[in-house]
Amino acid sequence: MLDLTGKNALVTGIANNRSIAWGIAQQLHQAGANLGITYLPDEKGRNESKVQKLVEPLSPSLYLPCNVQDQAQVDATFGEIKKQWGRVDILIHCLAFANRDDLGGDFSAVKQENFNLALDVSAYSLVQMSAAAKPLMTEGGSIVTLTYLGGARVVPNYNVMGIAKAALEMNVRYLAAEMGPQNVRVNGISAGPIRTLASSAVGGILDMIHHVEEIAPLKRTVTQTEVGNTAAFLCSDLSTGITGQILYVDSGYSIMGM
């Protein structure tokens, strides 16, 4: 049975009720996990109150600001986890960022600064958060990140984010090799296209979804709940033999050649 009772789970990346992280948080809660939620702080505090209201029904025992571009906020998040929980068992890394201008047009037009920004927020942040979580995963653990097919193959407009996802997927393997002896598993879910705030920045996202609906064996794209269920599985004792893997939750789209 999928049971996460007694597990402390930190979920990053909830922006609104379309977020994949929201689908994951709901499934972890349903499986009995104790939740900690981080949000991306903004100057007017809008995200803080918006996300807080959304996650209230899941009764998170921690609710913290965490911009991964600010190491002090990452340190403060894990400092609070240490103080209040003592240990963490599950880390959901579900965040990414690239400038909208770089998610369309010629890939080669990307500026160095924007390239670094996309890789910093979308790929390095997994290393950064895993390093902070590692000493607190004293009873083993599971780290799950979100990736996309555009990190393994060329998908029009995905551009610099594809490079970031390729780095992210390799991060998964190196982290899995490092943390395996501590019984910490690290895996990625490669989700099919879903309409969210982040994906709306990718040029032609609706065309991508329609293409999947036509080509994928299941003739539809996936839902946040389906991704959430797979994340819950990867965090549970049902998947203790799985680490360093990228699991495709994409209605089978990635197996098709034509």
Residues forming the site for ligand NAD (CB under 6 A): 13-15, 18-21, 40, 66-69, 94-97, 121, 146-148, 191, 193-194, 196-199
Please report how close the Cβ of residue 84 comes to ligand NAD at its closest, in angstroms. 20
> Whose Cβ is closer to ligand NAD: residue 101's or residue 139's?
101
**Hunting for tokens 């395996």 — which residue is that?**
180
Residue 41 Cα distances to 45, 196, 200, 212, angstroms: 6, 19, 20, 34
**Of 39, 148, 248, 253, which is the active-site residue?**
148
Closest CA to 190 of 219, 160, 155: 155
Please report how close the Cβ of residue 188 comes to ligand NAD at its closest, in angstroms. 9
> Whose Cβ is closer to ligand NAD: residue 13's or residue 141's?
13
> Whose Cβ is closer to ligand NAD: residue 35's or residue 94's?
94
Please report how close the Cβ of residue 121 comes to ligand NAD at its closest, in angstroms. 5
| Residue 148 appears among annotated catalytic residues | yes
Please report how close the Cβ of residue 95 comes to ligand NAD at its closest, in angstroms. 3
Is the CB of residue 185 less than 8 Å from the CB of residue 243? yes
**Of 158, 174, 248, 253, which is the active-site residue?**
158
| Residue 124 appears among annotated catalytic residues | no
Q: With b meaning 16 or more CB within 10 Å and e meaning fewer, what string describes 118-153?
A: bbebbbbbbebbbebbbebbeeebbbbbbbbbbbbe
> Whose Cβ is closer to ligand NAD: residue 149's or residue 184's?
149
Residue 171 Cα distances to 67, 129, 144, angstroms: 20, 12, 11
> Whose Cβ is closer to ligand NAD: residue 89's or residue 250's?
250
Distance CA(89)–CA(116), nearest Å, equals 30
Is the CB of residue 163 less than 8 Å from the CB of residue 112? no
Please name the residues in contact with 49: beta carbons below 8 A apart, sequence gap of 6 or more.
none
Please report how close the Cβ of residue 178 comes to ligand NAD at its closest, in angstroms. 21
Report the catalytic residues.
148, 158
